[in-house]
Amino acid sequence: MELRPLGGTGIAVSPLGLGTVKFGRNQQVKYPRAFEIPDDRAVRELLELARGLGINLLDTAPAYGTAQERLGRLLPGPRSDWVLVSKVGEFFEGGRSRFDFGFHTTVAVVEQALRDLRTDYLDCALIHSDGDDLRILEQEGAADALRELKRRGLIRSHGISSKTVAGGLRAVELLDVVMVTCNLEYNEERPVLEAAAAAGRGVLVKKGLMSGHLRGAEGVRAAMAFVFSQPGVSSMIVGTIDPGHLRANVRTLEAILG
């Protein structure tokens, strides 16, 4: 797959990224079917397959159970083959989410991500919003902490996985990257995509396949075509633990992008 710029970050990403929720967590998730977390061999093979198909972008988070630590253990190839995106602010403990967007917590969470992922930098750290985007951006320490971590070289770029139009628009002013929900059934955050495109920010789309609530191959094609008809999209992050789906998703997207 041909890489594209992640806004003005200097980072080049595959238009299809791999989401890793299902690598480490099967509680309190909204997928259509229950699933078993794949074993180490299956995760390793999926990562090898992704790399072979030209995917370089992996999206993870401390809130995805064991996903981040497993990536650190199982990631094939040199670090430079991958663009690693992780998050700050959300913790998933004892089957429940807890949030902390403080300055010192944010620094500690990124430092832990580096240990988990066995690396000395993240390509991007996103604030994992609880829905109160504006308050987090304007009243909590997380954004300042991410700027400080970028200055120190521990992260190459920063952003927010946002949930509101107002928060997404503010993030376009303050940060390098926005991660926005965009799909055939929900496109209320399109003004954020437009603003990000105009400002040259990186845009990652989450839940583009409606978390799997789809009808067959044609449903996947229509969902992907819709996402890539929107302005400014750098990459669509699709979560899968099925090698057949991963192959099909790459084929489908390549046909759409030409």
Ligand X SMILES: NC(=O)c1ccc[n+]([C@@H]2O[C@H](COP(=O)([O-])OP(=O)(O)OC[C@H]3O[C@@H](n4cnc5c(N)ncnc54)[C@H](OP(=O)(O)O)[C@@H]3O)[C@@H](O)[C@H]2O)c1
Binding site for ligand X (CB under 6 A): 19-22, 31, 59, 87, 128, 161, 179, 206-212, 214, 220, 237-242, 245, 248-249
Burial 112-151 (b: 16+ CB within 10 A, else e): ebbebbebebbbbbbbbbbeebbebbeebbbbebbebbbe
| Cβ closest to ligand X, residue 7 vs residue 89 | 89
Minimum distance of ligand X from residue 36's CB (angstroms): 11
Minimum distance of ligand X from residue 154's CB (angstroms): 20
Minimum distance of ligand X from residue 55's CB (angstroms): 13
Minimum distance of ligand X from residue 162's CB (angstroms): 8
DSSP helix/strand/coil, 11 = coil
Number of Cβ atoms within 10 Å of the Cβ of 163: 16
Residue 41's Cβ-count burial label (10 Å; 0-12, 13-18, 19+) is exposed
Please check whether residue 45 is in contact with residue 20, taking contact to mean a CB–CB distance below 8 angstroms. no
Minimum distance of ligand X from residue 103's CB (angstroms): 20
DSSP state of 229: T
DSSP string for residues in 45-109? HHHHHHHHTT--EEE--TTSTTHHHHHHHH--S-GGG-EEEEEESEEEETTEEEE---HHHHHHH
Minimum distance of ligand X from residue 214's CB (angstroms): 5
Quote the CA–CA distance of 165 and 193 in Å, as a whole number.
10
| Cβ closest to ligand X, residue 46 vs residue 198 | 46
Task: Please give the residue whose beta carbon sits closest to ligand X in the complex.
Answer: 19
DSSP state of 212: G
Quote the CA–CA distance of 147 and 175 in Å, as a whole number.
9
| Cβ closest to ligand X, residue 152 vs residue 188 | 188
- Look-up: residue for tokens 């909204």? 30
Please check whether residue 240 is in contact with residue 208, taking contact to mean a CB–CB distance below 8 angstroms. no
